[in-house]
Amino acid sequence: MNDYSQLEKRLNYTFRDKQLIIEALTHKSYKKPYNNERLEFLGDAVLDLIVGEYLFKKFPKSDEGILSKIRASLVNESGFTLLARKIDLGSYIFLSLAEENNNGRDKPSLLSNAFEAVIGAVYLEAGLDTAKTISIKLLEECHPKIDLQSLSKDYKTALQELTQATHGVTPSYEMLGSSGPDHKKEFEIAVILDNETIASAKGKSKKDAQQKAAKIALEKLKG
């Protein structure tokens, strides 16, 4: 039996209704009359609002296109997996033996969905403000610097996730060269996948060029 009281300490929230936290932690493979999918549906919307409002207030001058992009870089499977790992959520999930042996406790989809379900459960029992306090604390711990850079960071991550799914490999980046005077240098970087250059881009720094190249590669691969 998982001792979810440790999880409650990590969340700094104790559930009054223990069935609610049990449901939030129950993966559908566990074959109970309930599982965490309904709470995940609710938690997904709760988190969208919490992160949306957080960005709305943190960036009072940014237009909604920017806010949407930053949110999309945080509110997704890999983003929530990060938060789930921070509270060691995997250890507390109820799942089947088969799923357990299949490394289920460390699967991004499983962790991300359970995280949404836990926040959905907190929201149901304690309301939006409590869900907000818990989520924002975790978000800020996992993303010490939320800004437009954290947005572009996402292209490399997104590309890596995509190519692992489609090609079973991770892309590599290769510097093609640099040009321009020292104070205005430009770097050109290529993205290599399966020994083939799939995109290249120039940028003001190596990092910037990598992100731009990853973005182009993503667009190409997604057709």
Contact window for a copy of itself (CB under 8 A) among 32-40, 142-150, 152-160, 179-187: 32-40
> Which positions from 53 to 82 touch a copy of itself by CB under 8 A, shown as an x/- string?
x--x------xx--xx--------------
Contacts of 30 by beta carbon, 8 Å cutoff, 6+ apart: 94, 95, 96
Answer yes or no: 182 catalytic. no
Residues making up the binding site for Mg(2+): 40, 113, 116
Count of residues engaged in binding a copy of itself, rule: CB under 8 A: 18
Is residue 17 close enough to count as binding a copy of itself by CB under 8 A? no
Supply 209's token pair. Answer: 């060029």
Question: Of the ranges 51-59, 82-90, 102-110, 148-156, which one interacts with a copy of itself (CB under 8 A)?
Answer: 51-59
**106 classed as catalytic:** no
Does residue 126 interact with a copy of itself by CB under 8 A? no
40 belongs to the binding site for a copy of itself (CB under 8 A): yes
Residue 142 touches a copy of itself, criterion: CB under 8 A: no
Cα separation, 140 vs 86, in Å, equals 11
Specify the stretch interacting with a copy of itself by CB under 8 A; choose among 13-21, 41-49, 171-179, 211-219: 41-49
- Give the residue numbers annotated as catalytic, written as ranges: 44, 116
Binding region for a copy of itself (CB under 8 A): 37-38, 40-42, 44-46, 48-49, 52-53, 56, 63-64, 67-68, 128
